[in-house]
């Protein structure tokens, strides 16, 4: 399955379908879920990184259970915005996941999402290092998905 830009992905979605935000880490895949109006992202959970087919099956089950019809996957661009080896690996993985799960997908810049989430968890939530480690992946997925939703929200005509 091809990758789409976010506007195209939103146009492909059936009415009231949700999006799944995906933060693919080396050991853990963080997940977030949008609401049916595509306005709010919420941390959903995390998966242990396994074979692609196993992770795809888990994501398909979540999509069916939650009424999701597309994926927004974090793209780890370099700090200067360039497309490095990590971004290429994320792109390749997203293409394979999209095909295996039969869900359309787009990539969204996730630079500094984990850093922002960690800062929040340290300063605002006052979580221990262990509890932060358990929460950061799904919250980074929500942070990235929320950023994508905010950037792609249709303009409201002036009255």
Strands (E), 5-91: 18-24, 28-34, 41-48, 68-75
Q: What is the pLDDT of residue 38?
A: 96
| 116 has pLDDT over 90 | no
Q: What is the pLDDT of residue 81?
A: 77
- Which domains are assigned to the chain? 19-152 (3.30.420.140)
Helix or strand or coil: residue 153? coil
Q: How many CB atoms lie within 10 A of CB 80?
A: 7
CA distances in angstroms from 119 to 106, 115, 126, 136, listed in the order given: 27, 6, 10, 10
Dihedral sign for Cα atoms in the order 39, 114, 87, 48: negative
pLDDT confidence bin for 127, thresholds 50/70/90: low
Q: What are the tens digits of pLDDT across the range 74-97? A: 998 877 878 889 899 999 999 999
Q: What is the pLDDT of residue 128?
A: 58
In whole angstroms, give the CA distance from residue 130 to residue 38. Answer: 31
Which residues are 32's β-sheet partners?
21, 43
Q: In terms of pLDDT, which residue wins out, 125 or 10?
A: 10
Q: Nearest-CA neighbor of 23 among 97, 76, 60?
A: 76
Q: How many CB atoms lie within 10 A of CB 51?
A: 9
Q: What are the tens digits of pLDDT across the range 18-61? A: 999 999 988 999 999 999 999 999 999 999 999 999 999 999 99
Q: What is the pLDDT of residue 47?
A: 95
For the whole model, what pTM was predicted?
0.85
In whole angstroms, give the CA distance from residue 26 to residue 33. Answer: 21
């Amino acid at each position: 399955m091809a990758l789409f830009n976010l506007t195209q992905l939103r146009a492909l979605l059936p009415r009231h379908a949700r999006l799944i935000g995906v933060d693919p880490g080396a050991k853990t895949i963080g997940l977030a879920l949008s609401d049916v109006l595509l306005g709010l992202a919420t941390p959903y959970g995390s998966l242990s990184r396994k074979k692609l087919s196993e992770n795809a099956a888990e994501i398909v089950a979540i999509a069916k259970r939650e009424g999701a019809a597309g994926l927004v996957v974090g793209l780890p661009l370099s700090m200067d915005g360039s497309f490095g080896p990590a971004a290429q690996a994320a792109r390749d993985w997203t293409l394979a996941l999209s095909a295996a799960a039969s869900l359309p997908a787009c990539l969204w810049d996730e630079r500094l999402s984990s850093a922002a989430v960690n800062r929040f968890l340290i300063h605002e939530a006052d979580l221990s290092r262990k509890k932060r480690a358990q929460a950061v992946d799904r919250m980074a997925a929500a942070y990235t998905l929320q950023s994508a939703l905010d950037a792609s929200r249709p303009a409201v005509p002036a009255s």
